Amino acid sequence: NAGVTQTPKFQVLKTGQSMTLQCAQDMNHNSMYWYRQDPGMGLRLIYYSASEGTTDKGEVPNGYNVSRLNKREFSLRLESAAPSQTSVYFCASSKTDPGSNIQYFGAGTRLSVL
Amino acid sequence: GQSLEQPSEVTAVEGAIVQINCTYQTSGFYGLSWYQQHDGGAPTFLSYNALDGLEETGRFSSFLSRSDSYGYLLLQELQMKDSASYFCAVEDDRDDKIIFGKGTRLHILP
């Protein structure tokens, strides 16, 4: 029972390079989320997808794009990485069940942009 | 605007009781949840309150007062493994997302 799986676990990029962070869940959840976590800043929502085929911006979407490929997979793309995007990225999923939005997180991707 | 306030750090002694407070100001509200995160790990769900009152789960309890926009997490019989960061989070009733506080780092002394 894998839950939420993120790849890669670690990545180092040079400024201007692009990459895609992958996320997959096997819990048949409708909703998926991408967060970034910086020291002292808590978890900030980048994008989320309430259902297959829909995506919406969160608090800090600039510099990122997302794709909800199917119900299981939700990817995050950095088109031109910047040092300000050095962070830990977490993917999460939840049922679309108002009144009990319990989120299940992947192990995270630690990204450094030089 | 939307904001959640919680202390940045709390220190307590092993075996004692500690309370982590959270006040929130959000446009929409379904409920308040709490997550635990150990260093280097992912956040994990601890508890959820939709109604006023106390919810108990083992050594952990969580309280909500909707009229005061306030909640707390109570940890009893503290163990060294409880050293972690704790986040409160509000479920927004306008859409399908939750808003996290900045987290409280809990230090436990032997």
Q: CA A19 to CA B29: how far, in whole Å?
A: 36
How many angstroms separate the CA atoms of A37 and A30, rounded? Answer: 23
Q: Provide mean pLDDT across the span A51-55.
A: 90
- Average pLDDT score over residue span A17-37: 95
- Across the interface, whether the CB atoms of A105 and B43 are under 8 A apart is answered yes
Instruction: Give the pLDDT of residue A1.
Output: 65
Q: Which residues of A touch B101 (CB under 8 A)?
A: 42
* Segment B42-101, tens digit of pLDDT: 999 999 999 999 999 899 999 999 999 999 999 999 999 999 999 999 987 777 688 899
A99 and B99 in contact by Cβ < 8 A?
A: no
Report whether A54 contacts A107 (CB < 8 A).
no
Mean pLDDT, to the nearest integer, of B23-46?
Answer: 92
Partner-chain contact B30 A45, CB within 8 Å: no
Q: How far is B77 from chain A (nearest CA, A)?
A: 26
Report the percentage of chain A scoring pLDDT > 70.
Answer: 96
Residue A41 has its nearest CB partner, among B41, B44, B102, at B102
pLDDT band at A39 (very low <50, low <70, confident <90, very high): confident
* Mean pLDDT (whole number) for A7-15: 96
Our CA-based measurement puts residue B15 at a distance from the nearest CA of chain A, in whole angstroms, of 27
Q: Is A8 exposed, middle or buried (0-12, 13-18, 19+ CB in 10 A)?
A: exposed
Q: What is the pLDDT of residues A60-89, one digit of tens each?
A: 999 999 999 899 999 999 999 999 999 999
Average pLDDT, chain A: 93
pLDDT at A98: 67
pLDDT computed for residue B28 by the predictor: 81
Residue A29 above 80 pLDDT? yes
Is the separation of the CB atoms in B62 and B90 below 8 Å?
no
